A and B are shown apart, each in its own frame.
Chain A
Amino acid sequence: MSDAWTERLSEYIDETLSEGERVAIEAHLASCAACAATLDELRRVVARARALDDRPPATDLWPGIAIGIGLAPGAHPVASLGQRRARRRLSFTVPELAAAAIALAILSGGAAWLLLRASKAVPMATTATPAPMPMLVNAALSGTDPRYAAAVADLERALEQGRGRLDTATVRVIQKNLSIIDRAIREAQSALAADPGNAYLNLHLAEQMRRKLELLRRANALAGARS
């Protein structure tokens, strides 16, 4: 997994290797099961990233901005979302891909759920929605990643404030299930510490972290709905 070709897998996925390099890496992949498995998992991450929905803005802000900066609204047209999507290239190194998996999982799961619930849920904190920026850190360390930790802390604080609006049975259920997820996170982190390059473990940890955020958000929404 940690051989010289591993760092070239991203380029291989992006088809930016030279013909000679491509032939060489394919020959290597044929004989290196670990690299083949890693390639397969990295492709899954890229596929999930590409599957994310790019929502167009509700209104086109460019005409107003153009007038504001003294340009004709038609000047310097902004590339359409479709054009940008078409030329979007998702190129990462192996550790970045694993970390990106966490960011994608959190954004696609948590944020999407928040959007869907927006009409019902009471916003608990302005920081409850993670900023749409990639968290490019190794997933093995992500449990202590400041942005993830901050998002969890914000939600836990909001939940503590709203705790009085939840009955004890609901609080107990949420605490129990947060403990279950925390245990899964700890076990995944421990496994990753022993095998930091394992793409499955990175993705698995990302999934458990997403679950924790989602459950916290759901609990906050419940507390908000009772207010």
Chain B
Amino acid sequence: MLATLATLTALALGAPQQTDTTLPVRSGARLEVENFGGGIAVKTWSRSAVRVTASHSSRDRIEIGASDAGLHVKAEGHRGPPHVVDYEITAPAWMALNLSGVYTDITVEGAQGEITAETVHGEVKVSGGSGNVSLKSVQGAVTLEKARGRIDLYSVNEAITASDVSGDLTAETVNGDITLRRIESSNAEANTVNGDITYDGTIKDGGRYRFATHDGSLRVSVPEKSNVAVSVSTFNGEFNSCFPVQLTGKAKHRFNFTIGSGSARLELESFDGDIKICRPGAVSKEE
């Protein structure tokens, strides 16, 4: 019975097949990969070529379009949408990546160029990237490390994590925590509705920082010798600081204080959660 089922399933899906192709690319080319279900895993090498390895059904065909602009990779089903395709791609580190999927996990390791990665159901996990780095998922965690540039991280129903990142940073989710560690930024913003936010990074002179949650706690690092004007707003939470601060403009639910010259601006808002500031390295969600 099981053998019959397996045979019928294999007939329906087609036999597993492997596509393995390597194509040369010119400097500045972009790699675009579209997937419906499965995974997209991108690694990098020093060659000016892209190797595409795809595990897919024999009923599907992997199409690789090449132009001066770069490569476009997608699968075509024999009839209707393609089945599950798992891509393993090796690309030049400098290559800009544009990766998208529906039921797709996306991972990138070692990229040094721009990255756009967007999926509906699946995780996005990226190490590397520079320039515009935009990672989005509806139902999946978004994780970024070792990137620099203009960073845009978005999820709807999962957490966002970024570490060892420098540049302008925006992180937004509805239902999940946002954890930002070892961040070097003069412009950082994180928003969630239902989740905690942790920021452990720089507060640069003249910088702008805004962290807001509706139902969750904020843990934010303020390095020694920072020059920052801090505004704290909470409707139903407590404020704590690991070091002494002189509160000014204290009103119900909100107050301000200034550290040093106050040239940077830090806005901390939690409707229904506690807000705590500490020194870098001492910011911990478990506290």
Contact = CB atoms under 8 A, between A and B. Distances in A.
Interface of A: 1, 33-34, 36-38, 40-41, 44, 169-170, 173-174, 176-177, 180-181, 184, 187-188, 191, 195, 198, 200-201, 204, 207-208, 211, 215, 218, 222
Contacts, number: 94
Contacts of A170: 120-121, 138-139
14 contacts: A1-B251, A36-B249, A40-B256, A170-B138, A173-B157, A180-B175, A188-B271, A191-B235, A195-B252, A200-B233, A200-B254, A201-B235, A201-B253, A218-B138
Given A33-B255, A40-B231, A40-B256, A184 B157 contact: no
Q: Classify chain B: how many residues form its interface, as a range.
A: 20 to 34
A169 B251 contact: no
A24 to B, nearest CB: 18
Nearest to B210: A44
Which 8 A-B pairs rank lowest in CB-CB distance, beginning with the nearest? A200-B233, A36-B249, A34-B251, A184-B214, A37-B251, A177-B174, A37-B249, A173-B139
A112 to B, nearest CB: 12
Given A169-B139, A173-B157, A184 B256 contact: no
B250 interface: yes
Given A173-B138, A180-B174, A207 B254 contact: no
B174 A36 contact: no
Main secondary structure of the interface of A (DSSP, over half): helix
Interface in B212-269: 212, 214-215, 231, 233, 235, 248-256, 267, 269
Nearest to A109: B172
B214 A204 contact: yes
Contacts of A169: 121, 139
Contacts of A41: 231, 254
A225 B255 CA distance: 45
A51 B178 CA distance: 25
A102 to B, nearest CB: 15
A33 B247 CA distance: 10
A38 to B, nearest CB: 8
B44 interface: no
B213 to A, nearest CB: 10
Given A173-B156, A177-B156, 18 more contacts: A1-B251, A33-B251, A36-B256, A173-B138, A173-B157, A176-B157, A176-B175, A180-B174, A181-B174, A181-B193, A184-B271, A198-B252, A198-B253, A204-B212, A204-B214, A204-B269, A218-B156, A222-B138
